[in-house]
Amino acid sequence: MPPSSPTKIALIGSPNSGKSLLFNRLTGLNQKVANFPGITVDIGAGRSLVDSSTEYLDFPGVYSLKAISGEEKLAVDSFDKALDTGHLDAVICVVDATRLEKGLIFALQVLEACRRHNMPLLIAANMSDVLELHKIPLDTHGLAAALKVPVLSISGKTGIGLEQIPSAIASATAPTEAYAPTGDIITSDDALVHRQAQQLAKQYGPKGDLLINAQTRLDRFFLHSWVGGISFFVIMYLLFQSIFTWAAPIMDGVESLLQVIADLVLARVPAGMASDFIADAMFGGIGAFLVFVPQIFVLTLVVGMLEDSGYLARAAVICHKPLRVFGLTGKSFIPMLSSVACAIPGVYAARTVDSPCKRWLTYLAIPLMPCSARLPVYTLLIAAFIPAQKALGGLIGWQGLAMFGIYVFGIICALLVTAMVSRSSAELRSDLPFVLEMPPYRLPSWRPLLRNAWNRSKHFVTKAGKVIFIVTVVVWLLGYFPNQGASLGDSWLGTLGKWIEPVFAPFGLDWKYGVAILTSFLAREVFVGTLGTLFGIEDADENFVSLSQQIQDSGLPLSSGAALLVFFAIALQCVSTLAVMAKETGSWRLPTQLFVSYSIFAYLAALLTYQLVELLV
Amino acid sequence: MTLWDLTQGTSATISAFAGSIEAGYRTRLSELGFYPGETIACVMAPSLGAPKLYRVNNTVYSLDDSIASMIEID
Ligand SMILES: Nc1nc2c(ncn2[C@@H]2O[C@H](COP(=O)(O)OP(=O)(O)O)[C@@H](O)[C@H]2O)c(=O)[nH]1
């Protein structure tokens, strides 16, 4: 078969049926795997690992082919269109075998759609590893005979049954008759489909409540009024702590490694412009930013782990009532928590907020959540201004406390904004009902999680790294010429910087910070790179002093440092977030509004902070 | 009585939907298994008015008061 026309096989299933994991397993592609209902939305495509003439298409997870919300309608339409245009050769309907009845309600709808389009169908009873573990039988033959389509028992996790998929697909034919067990007239009545699914599940499906009972015991723990509350805070604390304690040794490692490389390289390059460039722009600018990659890796990993374990759905239940006070819903919790790693997955995750008003409000909160791109800036400024001393007899470090404080500040800002905006109109105050599936608790599958964290970090290095590289090179060129780094103040950049100095002068910041802030509107972490490059040029003797030390030595007052922290906590300095938000909302209106208003908000808040600290200190 | 009135560990059969429920939600709830004649168990009723957990078939959903009180039970 020519490579241009592969056999196209659609994967369709309800959220949490394990479709993404199966897709990854079949194609080796790195799609995000998430244990939260509805997270897959774009159609992924990938060639089969065993047979490159087969292409699998991963359709968005939907609960039903009768859509009720806008997003869902898009997803259902995409499937309908694929069936209509004859682009598909077969359909695999993935159902969670441990919850067969629910899966069958959907499978019966798919069966009907395939019958109408004369499309071969295979039903994949997924998660059969769980059934095997608990020795619960599933009668796939009986089910296949009753439905008159092949049914395979598989597991996307352990790989059971996957090798049978190609042959099962090859022999699958389009369902010819609608399923009607009692021989009564075919109706599309919901209740009838229900009865049928129920009968089928009872007859052929797994018996017993074993799985649910274990789940209920855990729910009674995690949602208990005070045990649940305490565990919520402990889990959030551990999440926060892990970013620092687990990532710190790796960060130190990266830093030492960079230093060793810098020494090696610089020893081989004769002094002059080339060596200046390597020292200032390469190691000063880009190196300063690479150090933070481990943190992003760990954060993505831990958030992914929580998501995969099923706990996040419970956290959404716990947070529903409190978040309602701020105009949000429990479903806003997952996008907001993801935004602690990065606002971009947060914006995508906001799709799971089904009420359009609440989703809009969630978008307002997302850019204010303390994302990991702010971390380099926070870490740098805190290291420069807060003494590395312990308080309360060594229990808490001041630096850790300051970091915690600025994180909480971001979250409070987010909640205050949504609380205020949601009260501004009756439409935004209105509530849609909260209905959320509670996925079973699962041990996270490590491989996809690690791969996802790895990809995110790689993406960060390549995407953000490219921007940072270009910016640092431009900054370096402008700062180094026309006088070969002899005097930064008289360079082109210096001239430009003095021009914008008045804007940031009210916080006591000189033009170097002004330039760094300006470049950081591309992406926050560029701030560190730019500042590193600027201090590198200025610093005539090329011994490596950490950037935070250089900031300290430059005599920047505490009030200016605090103003900078507050400015970075609020300002929406991320081109990627704006672009993704524009894509998700279908227009540049909201991103533009947010960009302008958060910039003004950030500026005023920084001004206020500066004045306050000046007064107090 | 509505579904919201169910206490933890008890179950009941759905009798009807409240007249004011939106059609879309009625369809979705039916597809999830909440439809008249079905027996629903309340597996967990957290305190402080948090959404309650209901079990239908072999799946658990959490519903808040605004929707659970629109589902009438016998
Ligand atoms: N035990 C087991 N867990 C699975 C299997 N397939 C997926 N999972 C888990 O089920 C959850 C949801 O999987 P995902 O692929 O994101 O489902 P989707 O929402 O249908 O795309 C994840 O936590 C997976 O690790 C399986 O075959 N066996």
Q: What is the pLDDT of residues A130-146, one digit of tens each?
A: 888 888 888 989 988 88
The pLDDT value given to residue A34:
47
DSSP strand pairing (A435-438 vs A396-397): unpaired
**With an 8 Å Cβ cutoff, is A330 touching chain B?**
yes
Q: What percent of chain A has a predicted confidence (pLDDT) above 70? A: 88
**With an 8 Å Cβ cutoff, is B26 touching chain A?**
no
B48: closest CA of chain A, how far (Å): 8
> Please, which pLDDT band fits residue A39 given cuts at 50, 70 and 90?
very low
Look up residue B7 and give its DSSP letter: P
Q: What is the tally of structural domains in chain A?
A: 1
Tens digit of each residue's pLDDT (9 = 90 or more) over A326-381: 989 898 998 898 888 778 778 877 877 878 888 999 999 999 999 878 888 898 88
Interchain pair B35, A194: CB under 8 A: yes
CATH topology of domain B3-73: SH3 type barrels. (2.30.30)
**With an 8 Å Cβ cutoff, is A442 touching chain B?**
no
Domain that holds residue A130: 7-208
Asked if residue A255 is part of any domain, the answer here is no
pLDDT > 60? residue A253: yes
Q: What percent of chain A has a predicted confidence (pLDDT) above 90? A: 18
Q: Where are the domains of chain B?
A: 3-73
Task: Find the residue in B nearest to A437 (Cα).
Answer: B61
Asked if residue A495 is part of any domain, the answer here is no
Q: Where are the beta strands (DSSP E) in A373-500?
A: 390-391, 396-397, 435-438
Task: Find the residue in B nearest to A228 (Cα).
Answer: B46
Tens digit of each residue's pLDDT (9 = 90 or more) over A369-388: 998 788 888 988 888 888 77
**With an 8 Å Cβ cutoff, is A66 touching chain B?**
yes
The sign of the CA dihedral A123, A127, A129, A135 is negative
The secondary element (H helix, E strand) that includes residue A203 is helix A190-204
Asked if residue A604 is part of any domain, the answer here is no
Q: Please report, for the domain that includes residue A63, its CATH number.
A: 3.40.50.300
Asked if residue A433 is part of any domain, the answer here is no
B15: closest CA of chain A, how far (Å): 14
Q: Which residues contact A173 (CB under 8 A, 6 or more apart)?
A: A120
Asked if residue A380 is part of any domain, the answer here is no
- For A574, the 3-state DSSP assignment is strand
- How many contiguous H segments (helices) and E segments (strands) does chain B have? 2, 5
ipTM, 2 decimals? 0.93
Asked if residue A186 is part of any domain, the answer here is yes
Write down the pTM of the prediction: 0.77
pLDDT > 80? residue A8: yes
Task: Find the residue in B nearest to A69 (Cα).
Answer: B24
